[in-house]
Structure 1
């Protein structure tokens, strides 16, 4: 399967307002795996893994990691590991067609089921995921950096453990943590069993692809996470940050997967929009109606151009 291009998606031209990441000396890594950097402090503490470009066209995360490497960000305690995940896809990024390098052969963020990782099937992304698996499963905390194609407010998606939800709310930016059960199309990195008990995983959807404000939010959230874990060396290449109130928590009550090629929303919806009344008609999947299951229904990252078998929208209820 090849990634969708702009013309496939019926999109207008999209402006890339971020520079192409220059990996240069950072490509080799220092941990025996290309694109993986590990730094351990003398003082014991948690192991934080920050991963970027699981999708090769989501370049803001790579820009954050290259800046941290260039500026010498190191943990005060514990271990900090920085991962450029899908290097082959990143190498194909073209600002003239910026959606086309999401992956080379298949979506890397649908491949983290243990049975699949342990199987015989091969692809560019599966081979790379198998190489990175020992890195990811050593994490006490994982922050997986992403951005979004369709209009949506930024948010955290939490892994299966309760600790991830608590940590996301404590960071406070973005101010929303959404707990869900993943995608029908395959297991995300944050859903790996490593993060079910004990370890915590957060997927940060920081804002629109290729925009400076998205990179700024990533930098803010990642620095706040370092501080929340007691790992930040104050005054070393990290922004000054005032305290924030705890974020809200919402739990997905229904994941809507398109079952036909004719899935369509009744109007343009923005991620983060709240539909006040239950049973409101929001989409048609062929002839099947899609309605809100409860009052004050939060729309999580609706995708107006969705393929059959893929997630069209997640519907969520606020818990806090």
Structure 2
């Protein structure tokens, strides 16, 4: 459990005298249905890039303006974002002002995608979205992802505003992760979709792209946020990605104004990141991301001998992971801002 919250909160992790393991449903090891509605896109024409870095495309307007970027394929099997970026390139999109960079991040993992085993191409050696420090630390020696991050870091540090495109394994409504900085919340709120914005501190295993000091430091004006568009490979996730990218380009003055969603925004702050201490983490129910648990102290999961309970009333569950490995994030608990 990280980070800790106020002592006034109910402890989320307790060890009861009587274990409940045998009473819990086997949700932790059951994969969801994996409908592959979206065919894998052909990115061969875009792999080279146009700045001397594979997969990086820089589009420049005649008028001055900020350097805005959209990244896709942080994980090789999350390609709804890649479809959207490839479509912009195919249409010969030109920004209204400033510079737009479209970046395909983990092309090596993407090349390994197979519909027969679609979850196995998330990465080649290790999760790229835990390596964004300077230089990457704690990663596997000579990993494909570490080499790619080192190649991209100098370019990423020139970006003023970034949207990182992802999707989810487990069925869930889309949300925007704003990272640990209020600058990320501000950017996500300006985009205005999806309607749920979650401010969080990332993962114990290492920093995400949006957690880079370049985007989170109060001494920098740069901003970043991360879209989780819904379940992988679905038309719904692609539609959410298209709409969010269109609005991001509009508010960044890169494209003409688009129709802004009038749906009210919900902003929630992650107070606890629940990390699995054992290889036997199980939820008591297949909770969907975005579920609000009304009562403080409600049992939601078991981690070996430990019970995981909600630390306050109206606790929001963010992206439960039903195949949690030891030392990986199982779920984030968040308090909705009033």
**What is the TM-score of this pair, normalised by structure 2?**
0.87
Name stretches of at least 5 consecutive residues in structure 1 with no aligned partner.
1-7, 235-239
| CA shift for structure 1 position 225 | 0.8
Any idea what the Cα deviations from partners look like across 1:228-254, whole Å, max 9, x if unmatched?
Answer: 1111046xxxxx534424522100010
Residue 247 of structure 2: which of 224, 228, 231 is its match? 224
Q: Does 1:164 align with 2:187?
A: no
What is the number of residues matched between the two proteins? 308
Q: Alpha-carbon deviation of 1:9?
A: 5.5
Matched, 1:254 2:246: no
Q: Give CA-to-partner distance per residue, 1:94-146, whole Å, 9 cap, x none.
A: 11111010001100001112242699932101001111112211111111100
- In 1, the alpha carbon distance for the partners of 2:86 and 2:124 equals 22
Relative contact order higher in (CA < 8 Å, ≥ 6 apart): 2
Which of 129, 133, 142 pairs up with 1:113?
Answer: 133
Q: Distance in 1 between matches of 2:137 and 2:103?
A: 18
SS of residue in 2 equivalent to 1:95: coil
Question: What is residue 77 of structure 1 aligned with on the other side?
Answer: 97
Check conservation: 1:175, 1:246, Cα contact below 8 A: yes
What is residue 125 of structure 1 aligned with on the other side? Answer: 145
Partner residue of 2:118 out of 92, 98, 111? 98
Query: CA 1:117/1:80 → structure 2, altered by over 3 Å: closer, same or farther?
Result: farther
CA RMSD of aligned residues (A): 1.8
Q: Is the 8 A contact 1:169 1:248 kept in 2?
A: no
Could you tell me whether the CA contact under 8 Å between 2:106 and 2:148 is conserved in 1? yes
Distance change >3 Å, CA 9–CA 118, structure 1 → 2: closer
Q: Distance in 2 between matches of 1:102 and 1:118?
A: 19
TM-aligned CA distance change 1:224 to 1:118, over 3 Å: same
Match in the other structure for 2:286 = 268
Tell me the distance in 2 between the aligned counterparts of 1:310 and 1:120: 16
| Aligned residue number for residue 285 of structure 1 | 303
Check 1:9–1:50 CA distance in 2 against 1; reply closer, same or farther (3 A cut). farther
1:192-219 deviations in Å (ceiling 9; x for gaps): 1101132111110000000011011011
Residue in 2 aligned with 1:213? 236
Given that 2:192 and 2:260 are in contact with CA atoms closer than 8 Å, whether structure 1 keeps it comes out as no
Give the 5 Å matches for 1:9-158.
10-11=30-31, 14-116=34-136, 121-158=141-178
Q: Which runs of 5+ in 2 are unaligned?
A: 1-27
Match of 2:322 in 1: 304
User: How far is the alpha carbon of 1:48 from its aligned partner?
Assistant: 1.0
Q: Which residue of 2 aligns with 1:183?
A: 203
Quick one: distance in 2 between partners of 1:40 and 1:10? 47
Q: Specify the SS of the correspondent of 2:210.
A: helix
8 Å contact from structure 1 (residues 171, 247) kept in 2: no
Structure whose CA Rg is larger: 2
Deviation of the 1:10 alpha carbon: 4.4
- Normalised by the size of structure 1, how large is the TM-score? 0.92
Residue 118 of structure 2: SS of its match in structure 1? coil
